[in-house]
Amino acid sequence: MKLKGVQDVAGVRVVVAGTRRDQDDAVARVVAAFTGPAKPPQVKDRRSEPSSGYRAVHVVVFEGGLPVEVQIRTELQDLWAQVFERLADRWGRAIRYGGELDEPDAVALGSDPPITRRELVEFLRQLGDRIDKVEQARVEVHDVADDQAPATNRAGHVVGLTDFESSIRRMLPVLMHYATEEA
């Protein structure tokens, strides 16, 4: 990234152990803590508008006039970001900003049937979409008492989780192979 593209001088990362609703609460607390005479905090909700598949809520707060970015992620959003960044380390860091892989058509070793790196990254992005759906469904289920939760919500949540789990298991051989390559 070019220097002129840098918008903050420091960063904070918060990983929320909870639901998306807990993430919203954390965002509200950060905004409240930094709302005052200084420049108001700026909230960037990357859940509804993901950046290259990345989802989180970023709050830019101003401390002593300087911008500080607070990244607030759920655990699932954070794990997605950690895996994506780790793949980008070796396959091409440009993908973090919507750019192309260094060797997009190379086969992702460990995949069966074989898929390219580009296909795997696209699959990972789709997995991010599934995480989002799972987390939204989880909030709907948690918003009402268990015995009152609509059966359709609970069923949808379970289907979402099963779908999510099968997606991860499908990618697992490639990720395991990637880990072996690193070592």
Partner 1 sequence: MTRSFLLVYDRSAGRLLSLVEHPTRAGALQARFDTEKQHRHDTSIEVVVLTAASEQVLHRTHARYFKDVGQLASDWLRHVAEA
Q: Which is nearer to partner 1, 32 or 168 (CB)?
A: 168
Q: Which is nearer to partner 1, 122 or 165 (CB)?
A: 165
In whole angstroms, the minimum distance from the beta carbon of 57 to partner 1 comes to: 15
Q: Which is nearer to partner 1, 129 or 165 (CB)?
A: 165
Task: Record the tokens describing residue 128, joined without a space.
Answer: 């991010």
Q: How far apart are CA 122 and CA 129, in angstroms?
A: 11
Dihedral (Cα; 136, 146, 24, 81), 10-degree rounding: -50
In whole angstroms, the minimum distance from the beta carbon of 35 to partner 1 comes to: 24
In whole angstroms, the minimum distance from the beta carbon of 31 to partner 1 comes to: 20
Q: Which is nearer to partner 1, 17 or 151 (CB)?
A: 17
Around Cβ 126, how many Cβ atoms within 10 Å?
Answer: 12
Sign (positive or negative) of CA dihedral 79, 85, 89, 95: positive
In whole angstroms, the minimum distance from the beta carbon of 127 to partner 1 comes to: 9
Q: How far apart are CA 183 and CA 169, in angstroms?
A: 21
Q: Which is nearer to partner 1, 39 or 75 (CB)?
A: 75
Sign (positive or negative) of CA dihedral 124, 127, 132, 135: negative
Interacting residues toward partner 1 by CB under 8 A = 13-15, 75-76, 78-79, 82-83, 85-87, 89-90, 93, 134, 138, 157, 161, 164-165, 168-169, 171-172, 175-176, 178-179, 182-183
Q: How far apart are CA 86 and CA 111, in angstroms?
A: 18
In whole angstroms, the minimum distance from the beta carbon of 28 to partner 1 comes to: 20
